[in-house]
Structure 1
């Protein structure tokens, strides 16, 4: 069985040429600089955003959402899958201003943007209507009966985090207006259409994408040459050369990209497809169970099914410690909140003044917003890099240990009640969602199955006997805390390591019940706990040497004398030129203690110092493992890989690689 993996590579447009004719019959091409290309691409993105925003505002009513949710048109025919075709079937067309000439394929992109926003609104409205229909007496604390009523109205697959956020939104509306909302459109305003163009909604009359070689691709696209085109003469074909990132294989199929602008550059989100063999979901003889953490992002263990229905786990913990990066993300989030507070304060000042802000305040306002966008981009990029680095490390560990499946805990239905807002903010900023998607993608590419198991009880239960664990500060400090786990059966282990064993046991015990959802994600829905045993590994013992003879019947054997170590800077030349011992002045009494030392050059006649500084030039701090590729960041520490068990990706069997 083969599956098609779809990924997206972000590219920047390089050289470009404007063609008077068509791609089949091009005229004399003329080069276009990057500034002019970005200006014309901005004409197209602005036009699409304005038309899609106007169309979305006109259909943002309960009646239109009811028509879209019904799934059929006025004649009873089933609505198609493509969004722009759905809007045309329902008769919803974008309002094009008089005198403006817009090609039909551009209107398709407008319809696709609007349809995606409306379909998301239909899903959110179903959740909102279910919560309003089963509104409890106390929305902050639902009873068991309230949860049963709510689950009867909710669509399938809604997690608790979504329910909590929607409940808070409805409660805030009720606090302002003194009543519940009459509909979803009253609760929320139309969303903002992003400044981009979904070129995949068009056909070859607007866009064409082809590969030139392994490192370059060519994009043909029609762009307006003026902000408001009034005829088709204001639209011209542009030949844009794109450099394909090295992550895109030469055999991958390139799809139609999405065009957008960023910092004056034309950016292309280029999707590409790769066909791979699907990994089996059952029949695994070796697995890796991984537990999420905040400081230690991943803690994994290798496990195998035992002969008597148990699971045998290795005693070696595999860790991906990203505490340094987590602290950096915390500082960036605090800086972002500070900037947002200042921006909000200036917005209130501008709203309270008739003349608005003065020039100095307006310049400060623009600077704060620019800095806020920059910090947000930094947080996104650092979190994404951290997630993909951890996913790459986990899949490499699976190959190094010979595991064919990776089991993760499903945290979509888990919450942390009683936690502070700061802790919830730190957990929400953790890149678990991106990390899970990255592990699934890389696992499918490397023929490693990735399966989620139920998360409830993985950290609170003992992997050996199943009883409730006692969480303490350390093995020798039984103060209640989270790092260490103790059990009456004799278990004493790290909490994350204990949870990783339990996750691996649940996955191996329930692997024959693994199913896939509509998105293709594999999971074990039924909780099956089996005892976990420790793998018996031989303990290496030192070689037994005969005891040294201490009798006096023969001469004592001579031993080589250890050479005296002289610190750098205490060379004979330095000692010869050091001069004599400085004489003490009789007027000033030397304090008690040794004679003052010269830590750079030892003066003859003085006592040698126990500690001294060297004279060599200090070099900047270099982390050896980061240089070798152990982590993408200097403050990421991970367990290095062991000997490989086979061949992967064209590498030599049994070769070593640093994680």
Structure 2
């Protein structure tokens, strides 16, 4: 029903009427999609021989209204591009960019401009002329297989809260594919177990039903009171740079009367091991897809009973391909949410009120090697940003995107062009390290995170929210950052220690509260017992069992002398083994009471102690 409504009104004239926001009676269209379509006379009609209630038609009209309103936004973007179409779309001048920005609707990002430009160029190459509008470039969209019960009322859906962990959803659903009367619509009860992340006592809203693979998935939203955090007035921020090998690199910075002061400690979430695993899984997935396509071509035109071995092998390969795809999706999701939680824990520990992230929508995969293109195309940057925004809203922290152009090529201290080398001791062209003529030498991602933080703090008055509620800074000016002044060493309060060697060094007593090593002592360090227990006479306290020096025949080695540990065991550097969701993720541990808090009295810990948060 929704597809019929969209196909009937997918034209420039109807989209212009819907975008105008005024009905035929001169009144403003309602905010509800289904009510706006009924005001325009675009109501949904049930198929012949099918009986549905008014609430079911309302659900279909809401789905159609959402698709048509998205088409209105795309139509405005395409109209702006056609009105300012340059001679060379791949190399617009500054004047052409200014004219395009003035004609575009609010909230149009660089990725949308790039994609719609490619779409228009493809039509121009195929037809030899520019299209008249959006409806000539693309056909009507297809509605997904879902039922948004939020558009109905209590006559169609009822949500009851059983307890803190269970919810019962009552909904009228048909018992056959084509209900011929209202007797074919029956109330169904669906009991949903809430995950532990849903707090107790929150308001549970009407769900969305998604039939898939013989089952129905329930998207059950819930509401909690939330106040949007402020966009400006921040004094401490966390700047985040996106990387391919190192997933996230962050820097803590403060804004004072003299400018931006950065902390020299980089915060890294290194997921190189997980990325390598994802690359192997993608290669395996592509190999399986090649096999499936080859066997499908062999099976075309043959009856299923002619070659049962081929049919069975094709079915097994398709099942394995789907399992590999599901594993990649789950690993990407776990990686993204783990990185987002790690970043928010650091922001909370450093008491930062805003997180600045570079605009990842402008990152493209062209012009690189095939392996790098594959890694960039399968990256989880979009999921990471969504997770960061979701978790930050719960903690009252603002998330703002800043322009990404020039963050890795400019020096954060003087603004000059950086020179990228392999390592600080290898002065050859590379990627990992950045050096500057002003004396700056540090990690490339760390320098980019400092530049991102400085852009956000100095241009926070330019922050705006788009129509989706996302905060962004469109144009930014760079400001040099500086390191905090070092504190002088504290003066000695007691008498000076005697350092002359005129007498033997006195024995130092170990304090009672000193830390001891958690490792067990070696066998040779354990003293032998003075009185051995009964029955153990003749046993050695330590060492191997003695063996004959010149045996007469082949002698088997003693079992306990055979090494059972690998020569080079896995050692995690810079992190605790097992921290996070994966053993190959190396992340900077979250600590409270850092040096950044010590130099700013306004953000000192009230207890005065250093605490370690949960990983």
**What TM-score, normalized to structure 1?**
0.75
User: 1:589-628 maps to which residues of 2 (within 5 A)?
Assistant: 613-614=562-563
Question: What SS does the aligned partner of 2:221 have?
Answer: strand
Question: What SS does the aligned partner of 2:265 have?
Answer: coil
Distance in 1 of aligned mates of 2:249 and 2:204: 36
Bigger shift: 205-214 or 69-78? 69-78
Which of the residues 471, 475, 478 maps onto 1:522? 471
Which of the residues 159, 166, 183 maps onto 1:233? 183
Question: What SS does the aligned partner of 2:159 have?
Answer: strand
Distance in 1 of aligned mates of 2:463 and 2:123: 42
Distance in 2 of aligned mates of 1:243 and 1:362: 39
Which of the residues 354, 359, 364 maps onto 1:405? 354
Match of 1:434 in 2: 383
Aligned-pair CA distance for 1:58? 3.3
Whether the aligned pair in 2 keeps the contact of 1:640 and 1:658 (CA below 8 Å) is no
Whether the aligned pair in 2 keeps the contact of 1:387 and 1:438 (CA below 8 Å) is yes
Bigger shift: 629-638 or 524-533? 524-533
Match of 2:534 in 1: none
Match of 2:551 in 1: 582
Match of 1:478 in 2: 427
Whether the aligned pair in 2 keeps the contact of 1:199 and 1:207 (CA below 8 Å) is yes
User: 1:5-154 maps to which residues of 2 (within 5 A)?
Assistant: 51-144=1-94, 146-148=96-98, 150-154=100-104
User: 1:514-553 maps to which residues of 2 (within 5 A)?
Assistant: 514-536=463-485, 546=499
Aligned-pair CA distance for 1:573? 10
Aligned-pair CA distance for 1:403? 2.1
**Runs of 5+ unmatched residues, structure 1:** 1-50, 555-561, 586-596, 603-611
Distance in 1 of aligned mates of 2:354 and 2:46: 53
**1:138 and 1:100, CA in 2 relative to 1: closer, same or farther beyond 3 A?**
same
Question: What SS does the aligned partner of 1:99 have?
Answer: coil
Distance in 1 of aligned mates of 2:7 and 2:245: 44
**1:209 and 1:155, CA in 2 relative to 1: closer, same or farther beyond 3 A?**
same
Aligned-pair CA distance for 1:325? 1.9
Whether the aligned pair in 2 keeps the contact of 1:290 and 1:300 (CA below 8 Å) is yes
**1:359 and 1:122, CA in 2 relative to 1: closer, same or farther beyond 3 A?**
farther
Match of 1:391 in 2: 340
Whether the aligned pair in 1 keeps the contact of 2:252 and 2:262 (CA below 8 Å) is yes
User: 1:193-204 maps to which residues of 2 (within 5 A)?
Assistant: 193-204=143-154
Match of 1:314 in 2: 263
Map Cα deviations across residues 229-284 of structure 1 (whole Å, 9 max, x no partner): 11111111122221111101113211111111344333211111111344333343
Question: What SS does the aligned partner of 1:275 have?
Answer: coil
Which of the residues 381, 388, 391 maps onto 2:330? 381
Match of 1:222 in 2: 172
Distance in 1 of aligned mates of 2:277 and 2:327: 11
Match of 2:280 in 1: 331
**1:67 and 1:522, CA in 2 relative to 1: closer, same or farther beyond 3 A?**
closer
Which of the residues 472, 490, 514 maps onto 2:439? 490
Aligned pair 1:656/2:605, yes or no? no
Aligned-pair CA distance for 1:320? 0.8
Distance in 2 of aligned mates of 1:245 and 1:81: 32
Aligned-pair CA distance for 1:457? 2.3
Aligned-pair CA distance for 1:474? 0.7
Distance in 2 of aligned mates of 1:192 and 1:615: 60
Aligned pair 1:245/2:195, yes or no? yes
**1:460 and 1:78, CA in 2 relative to 1: closer, same or farther beyond 3 A?**
same
Distance in 2 of aligned mates of 1:230 and 1:456: 60
Whether the aligned pair in 2 keeps the contact of 1:160 and 1:415 (CA below 8 Å) is no
Aligned pair 1:274/2:224, yes or no? yes
Distance in 2 of aligned mates of 1:581 and 1:466: 75
Aligned-pair CA distance for 1:216? 0.9
Question: What SS does the aligned partner of 1:408 have?
Answer: strand
**1:144 and 1:576, CA in 2 relative to 1: closer, same or farther beyond 3 A?**
closer
Aligned-pair CA distance for 1:62? 3.8
Match of 1:633 in 2: 582
Question: What SS does the aligned partner of 1:304 have?
Answer: strand
Distance in 2 of aligned mates of 1:396 and 1:265: 37
Which of the residues 233, 237, 240 maps onto 1:290? 240
Match of 2:205 in 1: 255
**1:438 and 1:153, CA in 2 relative to 1: closer, same or farther beyond 3 A?**
same
**1:357 and 1:533, CA in 2 relative to 1: closer, same or farther beyond 3 A?**
farther
Bigger shift: 572-581 or 373-382? 572-581
**1:398 and 1:345, CA in 2 relative to 1: closer, same or farther beyond 3 A?**
same
**What TM-score, normalized to structure 2?**
0.80
Whether the aligned pair in 2 keeps the contact of 1:57 and 1:190 (CA below 8 Å) is yes
**1:230 and 1:563, CA in 2 relative to 1: closer, same or farther beyond 3 A?**
closer
Bigger shift: 217-226 or 368-377? 368-377
Bigger RCO of structures 1 and 2 (CA < 8 A, at least 6 apart): 1
**1:349 and 1:82, CA in 2 relative to 1: closer, same or farther beyond 3 A?**
farther
Distance in 1 of aligned mates of 2:299 and 2:124: 28
Match of 2:155 in 1: 205
User: 1:639-650 maps to which residues of 2 (within 5 A)?
Assistant: 639-643=588-592
User: 1:346-361 maps to which residues of 2 (within 5 A)?
Assistant: none
**1:494 and 1:101, CA in 2 relative to 1: closer, same or farther beyond 3 A?**
same
Map Cα deviations across residues 299-334 of structure 1 (whole Å, 9 max, x no partner): 112222244x13222111111111122222333333
Distance in 2 of aligned mates of 1:175 and 1:359: 45
Count of residues in Structure 1 that have an aligned counterpart in Structure 2: 571
Aligned-pair CA distance for 1:295? 1.5
Match of 1:299 in 2: 249
- What is the alpha-carbon root mean square deviation over aligned residues? 4.1
Map Cα deviations across residues 165-221 of structure 1 (whole Å, 9 max, x no partner): 233333334444444445433432333322211010111001011212111111111
